[in-house]
Each structure stands twice: as C-alpha cells, then as structure tokens.
Amino acid sequence: MSGIGVTDIEGLIGVEQYVEVGAFPVEQGYVWTTCSSVENGNPLFWDDQVAKEVTGGPIAPPSMVSVWFRPHHWAPGRTRVALPLQIHFDLKEGLGLPEAVMSDNTMIFHEPVRPGDILRTSQILRSVSAEKTTRLGNGRFWVIDVEYQNQRGELVAVESYTGFGYSRAGSDAADVAPTAGQKTGAGQ
C-alpha cells in the first residue's frame, strides 16, 4: 500500500497488514552478540543448563523481538527499500505529514523466542486521532501494533507504537535563515 488517506482510516483500523515471515531463524550468535554489546551477563542467555532449568531451554532476550523482523536495508534481488513500520510511512504520505516522532513504545511478551524460531509479524493500525496542534506543529497521533508469532502460531510479543505525524507550523518560513542585516523576532 502507499499512502493512507483520511477516507481510508476507518476501514483499516484493526486490519492486519504487511504480514511478513522472518528471512532467517532466530540465531544464538545474534543473542550472544547483543548480550555482549550491552554487557548482559544473565546466565539465562549464556548457560544452556540454566536456560533448561528456568525456561525449558535457551531463549533470546525478550527485548530482541524486533531484531528478528527488522529488514536489512538491502538484500539481493530486492527492488525497493524495506522499511520497518510501513503503516507509519503510509500514514505520513497519505495524510501529507512530512515529519513524525514516536512518543511511546510498549512491549508485551508472551511465549519466549527460542533459537531456531522463525517469526511472523504483522502490523495493525489501532487508531488515528483528529487533527491536533502541538509545539511541534499540526498533525495527528496514531497507534500501530506489531504482533509477533512463532512458526507454531504462538503469540510471542506485541509491540505498540504511538506516533505523531505533523507539519511544522510555518514550515516554509521556518526553514529559511534570515539574510545578513535582516531583523528577526516579534513584530517582523
């Protein structure tokens, strides 16, 4: 899809979109590299015996769930750039909102992700607000869920993002620097 306009929103609330199956299985090497990079020495991720006793076998850190679905920016044979949270970019385009920030991210974990799992993800638009004005500009808030399931169809996590897409107030003028000798400020 490209561009979700105002007239499209109601029909897309709660609809599963952009279903993807991971391009590679969850891999223990990624787990160790990630844990090493943040100095996470939890034996649950390093010691198979501890993992077996606590969780029935090795697991990936729950916070890594999005690692397994983030598309590589480039891949052989791909004809377009793959973007995470495609619904977010569709909303920006369709609503004519060139800027955006994520104001909240919540993760709820279910079944553990284990080495060898192949995850399936889908994006679901949960809500889009009426137009709002904030200090950033005029725009809309939206909530997008990303649901993750393993190859057995078990829910492993739900990530919820709240974004604000906006146009900067007076963006045409705000992007132009004053020329030498030009006054700026109140009354100008």
* Domain assignment present for 180: no
* Domain assignment present for 175: no
* Domain assignment present for 92: yes
pLDDT at residue 72 in the model: 73
At 46, give phi and psi (nearest 5°): -115, -25
CATH number at residue 48: 3.10.129.10
* Domain assignment present for 122: yes
* Domain assignment present for 147: yes
* Domain assignment present for 62: yes
- Percent of the residues in the chain that have a pLDDT greater than 90, as a whole number: 72
Q: Which of 77, 80, 119 is nearest to 2 (CA)?
A: 80
* Domain assignment present for 184: no
Structural domain of 33: 6-169
pLDDT in tens, 67-78: 887 777 778 888
Number of separate domains in the chain:
1
pLDDT in tens, 83-131: 789 999 999 999 999 999 999 999 999 999 999 999 999 999 999 999 9
At 100, give phi and psi (nearest 5°): -160, 150
